Structure 1
Amino acid sequence: MKITIIYGAFLPVPTLLGGAVEKMWIALAKEFVANGHEVVQICRQYEGMASDEVVDGLKYHRVKGYSAPESGLLYKIFDLFYTRRAIRKVPIDTDIIVTNTFWAPLLLSASFNKRVMVDVQRMPKGQMKFYKKSRRLRANSTPVAVAIKAELSSDLHSKVITVPNPLPFKVIDQVDLVDKKKEILYVGRVHPEKGLHLLLSAFKGIDTDWVLKIVGPVDVSAGGGGEQYLNKLKAEANERVQFVGPVYDTQKLNSYYSDAAVFVYPSVAEKGETFGLAPLEAMAWGCVPVVSNLLCFKDFIEDQKNGAIFDHRQPNAVDLLKAAIEALLEDSATRKKMAEESVKVRISHSTASIASQFLNEFKLMLNETS
């Protein structure tokens, strides 16, 4: 197959300026090539990058893009200008087109649209009805798929598929599931919607010598709740709580996952959580997750098998979270058994495994005639 990936207007590829979605598709593209397919990547032009080149078997076509504006209206306008340039680079003989730009499914010709998979990584906001001519609408989790279907008539629901995101790294190193440190870990934005107030209240009530480490950005510009919110959390914390700050280096972050025995992600963001990457990353290192009762986590966490789920919506949510954490701290045998189940995501959510799911779906798309 010839697979064309149309990236967004605002980040260069490879990911010099970050971009989790871009990193994911680059990794998947390399797997597609390794499986004998041809991949063309259309992305933003950036200083020092060639307009057309082949790197690691991937073909790149770059067109003029933009730095992301603060205005939502300008964002859509810039994306429109970029997408009009990008679709001119789509090879006429391409078999499959993957895109997460707003405009591409609307601007591509009817013949091309029959080959389009729209990559939906966030909760839709009414735009799905514009994409009904596309062949597939790919959700990265069950709640996103449910939200997509809610914007479509029932006869179009068959277009919606769920394929999870892969782990953003290859896990080769073995981890000693017995010789873990007495550490509880949280990784994510330090923001009220992440339920950290529940975590601190629960941890404060546990009589233990374990340490709680909170890793993540506080700055509003990075999605955090700001210094005032951090000071509020510190006032609630005891001496066993460590606020680490943001860690962007993958190797260093993985060392935190590898050291810790328990990972707690008590998010209360009913519509903000669409996948749950941090718990998945923790599981790959045998760090047993305790998560809130959000649908996205249930795609890969089964309560009391490879993690624990507490109901954050209940009035006694703090007590429920406290009990879930205490159970893991006090029962090392159960914790080890859950950790052994957790690390299986190394296989189920590996780039190779997820790439295979996409390739199977691409083949089904090609076999459909209507």
Structure 2
Amino acid sequence: MKIAMIGHKRIPSREGGIEIVVEELATKMVAEGHDVYVYNRAGHHVSGAENDVEIGKMYKGIHIITVPTSEKKSLNATIYSVLATLHAVFHHYDVIHFHASGPCAMLWLPHILGIRTVATIHGIDSQRAKWGGFATRYLEFGEKCAAKYADELIVLSEGNKKFFKDTYGREATLIPNGIGKPEILEAQEITEQFGLKKDDYILFLARIVPEKGLHYLIKAYKQIHTDKKLVIVGGTSHSNDYVSKIKKAAREDDRIMLLGFQQGQILEELYSNAYLYVLPSDVEGMPISLLEAMSYGNCCLVSDINETAGVVADKGITFKKGDVDDLKDKLVQLLDNKNEVCAYKEQAADYVLSKYNWDDVVARTINLYKCGLKAL
């Protein structure tokens, strides 16, 4: 098949979970003999590097099409989605696969032209705290387009599946993200650069945006007497005011370390050597970072929303969403009980690797593509 993917920022990139998912899907689909085209968004990379793959170039057998867009945050995604979709409808794809609510606002166009469409909603973006009024309405419009016009609708969690059924009367197919087995690394680069050693830090690794709940974690951590550092890793996305507040709060406690966006060996070492991984989100789709943390054998403490609690099951620990006191109590419990932490660590990797598999994700996604083509 000839397949297009629209909705991510760019690949290769670890700017967010969508970018990781698109690269995994596209790479594995190419390996199976499919012809895959991905629509990268031009512009600034969260790491500070301008490393876009040039238009017309190949990456791991994937055709890269780079779409110009505005550097203005409020227009960036909208202009990209319009231009990418206009290009795609004239290039004879068997399937156009849209990712995320915003880009789905253009899904109606290939639909009326009779082109098969699949939409993956990675999370209910209209509920995310960083967006303003117009952006929220635009994201809601994208959700409605996905619900009304997509030939197949994919969601990543039971919570999101229920949302589309209750809100739009639309049945969705649940296909969670996958994960691969990582290489566990000793602390070397992180020791040299940041002074971090095995088991001497709590790790938060996600984008620095309000819905990830980092402010809860910082507030709870400041109330705890511990020598373990709080290491915060992640880039930003449309949330400068929030980032400023986080930086101010971090400066008030010298145990808190803000490492910014990280990738490669440093990222792998951070996962490999954490005492505890914490993800206190209010809203999620299906967080790749949580799957990764468990695949490295981490003890994971997450909010009790379905999208995170459902991933850790009984192989991790939860606290009541938004409840700083409960989060503090659970942190103290795990800091004071190394045996409990070790017990979770022993179970996490085998559990998550057996349940969430990229080969299965790709096979089920391709099946959704093919079912529609047979009908045509």
Give the TM-score range, shorter chain: 0.7 to 0.9
Match of 2:173 in 1: 161
Q: What code does the residue aligned with 1:135 have?
A: D
Q: CA deviation at 1:201?
A: 4.3
Residue 49 of structure 1 corresponds to 54
TM-score (norm 1): 0.76
User: Structure 1, residues 277-309: CA drift from partner, whole Å, max 9, x if none?
Assistant: 33222212112111112221133111xx21111
Q: Deviations over 1:201-223 (max 9, x none)?
A: 43344444433323335x78665
Matched, 1:28 2:33: no
Name the structure 1 match of 2:244: 227
Aligned to 1:226, what secondary structure does the other structure show?
A: helix
Please give the residue correspondences for 1:63-82 in structure 2 after superposition, counting only pairs within 5 Å: 65-72=68-75, 76=78, 79-82=81-84
Of 244-253 and 102-111, deviating more is 102-111
Name 2:145's counterpart in structure 1: 130
TM-score, normalised with respect to structure 2: 0.75
Unaligned segments of structure 1, at least 5 residues = none
- Which residue number in structure 2 is paired with residue 187 of structure 1? 205
CA contact under 8 A between 1:3 and 1:37: conserved in structure 2?
no
* Distance in 1 of aligned mates of 2:284 and 2:17: 15
Secondary structure at the counterpart of residue 69 of structure 2: coil
Moved over 6 A (4+): 45-48
Distance 1:39 1:293, change over 3 A: same
User: SS of the residue aligned with 2:217?
Assistant: helix
What is the alpha-carbon distance in structure 1 between the residues aligned to residue 344 and residue 22 of structure 2?
Answer: 30
2:315, 2:211 → 1: CA distance? 24
Please state whether the residue corresponding to 2:204 is helix, strand or coil.
strand
Structure 1 position 171 matched with structure 2 position 181: yes
Q: Is contact 1:283-1:343 (8 Å) kept?
A: yes
- 1:196-211 alignment, distance < 5 Å: 196-211=214-229
Larger radius of gyration: 1
8 Å CA contact 1:189–1:224 kept in 2: the answer is no
Q: 1:111: Cα distance to partner? A: 7.6
Runs of 5+ in structure 2 lacking a partner? 43-51, 125-138, 187-196
- SS of 1:88's partner is coil
Deviations 1:259-283 (A, max 9, x none): 112112223x3xx432233322221
CA RMSD of aligned residues (A): 3.5
1:213 to 208, 213, 231: 231
Q: Structure 1: which amino acid aligns with 2:176?
A: P
Whose helix proportion is higher, 1 or 2? 2
From 295, 302, 317, the equivalent of 1:291 is 302
Say which of 308, 320, 323 aligns to 2:317. 308
Which residue is 2:165 aligned to?
Answer: 149
- Summarize the alignment of residues 286-365 of structure 1 with structure 2, pairs less than 5 Å apart: 286-302=297-313, 305-313=314-322, 317-344=323-350, 345-365=352-372
| Alignment check: 8 A CA contact 1:43 1:61 kept | yes
Query: Cα distance 1:193–1:102, how it changes in 2: closer, same or farther (>3 A)?
Result: closer
Write the letter of the residue equivalent to 2:356. Answer: H
Distance, in Å, in 1 between the alignment partners of 2:54 and 2:268 is 30
C-alpha contact (below 8 Å) 1:166/1:350 kept by paired residues: yes
Gap change, CA 1:246 and 1:295, over 3 Å in 2 = same
Name 1:86's counterpart in structure 2.
88
Q: Residue in 2 aligned with 1:107?
A: 109
Amino acid at match of 2:118: M
Match 1:258 to one of 254, 268, 272? 272
